[in-house]
Amino acid sequence: MAGGELVIRAVENYLAARHAAGFELKSQSYLVRSFARFAAARDEKHIRTATAIDWASRTVSVAQRDARLKAVCRFSRYLRAEDSRHELPPPRHFGYRKTRPLPHIYSREEIHRLMDAALKLEPPHSLPAQTFVTLLGLLAATGLRISEALNLQLSDVTPDGLLIRKTKFQKTRLVPLHQTVAARMERYLQRRRQVRSSRQEVFVDDDRRPLRYWDVYRTFQKVLKMAGLSPSSGRRYRLHHLRHTFAVRALEASPAGRQRIGQHMLALATYMGHVNIDSTYWYLETTPELLRGIAIVGEAFLCGGRT
């Protein structure tokens, strides 16, 4: 078997193993297969750092080069478990560092304005209007991803909370609901169960079809204007920012004491379905109260004080 064919076969084995572990790998599959073809053209039996960097460099932006090279790095780590002749390229070769724009954290007054505006959607007592009001309130009260909320099935609403099935990171979790949120959901579900439809999604549109993200986005833009929170005010208001807001408010309510805050952070990461707690730590950047405490502890440590 030619050297290039070995790399291509190794890619398929790698992807099969990752898929079996529950990973979708849509973009990763494309990238590692593209790299395998590139290496095969050079008749290489093993991953070479120079080849990986050469392949990764053949794109426009530094971010794309970084993503391409890191895809090869993950592939190489898998192969090196059995054959150390595969080289591991330096993952930070291109020096790219991803930065996230800070989200808008809704004030309680802004959320009240959004809910009040949503209640005025026409016709106010129709199922579509009640659907959006319930969806908006659920996102604000639980920090769910919009995709998780739209994929909810009627059977996922249990007495113990919402069963969120295999979402962004193929994780399934139970999201408990505050009693007021549970009561509001039950009022909506009483109307939803009266809808004659073979579909089991919780949130449906006026055609009795599952609510689609694009429809939610358009309605949210309308509600923003009705609430006087349009982008013309100089701020960016996004639906996903409700998730950020929930996380920040939860961290601000953390119990006192570093150990208890750490436990609270771990619980929040589990509740929100983060695969890595680093994703939860990021919310600290928009939590001034906790950042102030971190700064005080850091200053005391640097000055020789006790932490």
178 is catalytic: no
Say whether both 182 and 251 belong to one domain: no
CATH number of residue 196's parent domain: 1.10.443.10
Listed residues 65, 80, 95: the one ending a domain: 80
Pairing mode of beta strands 161-164, 173-175: antiparallel
Say whether both 139 and 247 belong to one domain: no
Contact 142, 162 (CB under 8 A): yes
14 is catalytic: no
93 is catalytic: no
- Within a domain: residue 87? no
> pLDDT by residue (tens digit) across 224-255?
999 998 765 556 889 999 998 888 888 777 76
Pick the catalytic residue: 18, 65, 113, 243? Answer: 243
Listed residues 213, 237, 261: the one ending a domain: 237
- Within a domain: residue 86? no
Say whether both 73 and 114 belong to one domain: no
Pick the catalytic residue: 14, 78, 106, 283? Answer: 283
Say whether both 189 and 170 belong to one domain: yes
- Within a domain: residue 90? no
Pick the catalytic residue: 168, 178, 199, 225? Answer: 168
pLDDT score recorded for residue 47: 94
Helix axes 127-142, 108-118, angle to 10 degrees: 160
193 is catalytic: no
Pick the catalytic residue: 46, 86, 113, 274? Answer: 274
Please name the residue ranges forming H helices in 162-307.
179-192, 213-226, 241-252, 258-272, 278-281, 288-302
- Within a domain: residue 147? yes
- Within a domain: residue 43? yes
- Within a domain: residue 94? no
Say whether both 258 and 233 belong to one domain: no
Say whether both 21 and 140 belong to one domain: no
Say whether both 58 and 21 belong to one domain: yes
> pLDDT by residue (tens digit) across 264-296?
677 777 777 776 656 665 666 656 655 555 555
Work out the number of other CB atoms within 10 angstroms of the CB of residue 35: 22
Domain hosting 24: range is 3-80
Listed residues 208, 237, 266: the one ending a domain: 237
Beta strands of 113-183 (E only): which ranges? 157-158, 161-164, 173-175
Say whether both 132 and 219 belong to one domain: yes
Pick the catalytic residue: 145, 173, 238, 249? Answer: 145
Say whether both 130 and 203 belong to one domain: yes
Q: How many domains does the chain have?
A: 3
Pick the catalytic residue: 208, 235, 236, 240? Answer: 240
> pLDDT by residue (tens digit) across 15-66?
998 888 777 777 889 999 999 999 999 999 899 999 999 999 999 899 999 9
Say whether both 259 and 296 belong to one domain: yes
> pLDDT by residue (tens digit) across 51-107?
999 999 999 899 999 999 999 999 999 999 999 999 999 999 999 887 777 788 899
274 is catalytic: yes
Q: How confident is the model at residue 307 (pLDDT cuts 50, 70, 90)?
A: very low
Report field, pTM of the whole predicted structure over 0.85: no
Say whether both 230 and 120 belong to one domain: yes
- Within a domain: residue 89? no
- Within a domain: residue 268? yes
Say whether both 122 and 41 belong to one domain: no
243 is catalytic: yes
Residue 164, beta-bridge partner list: 173
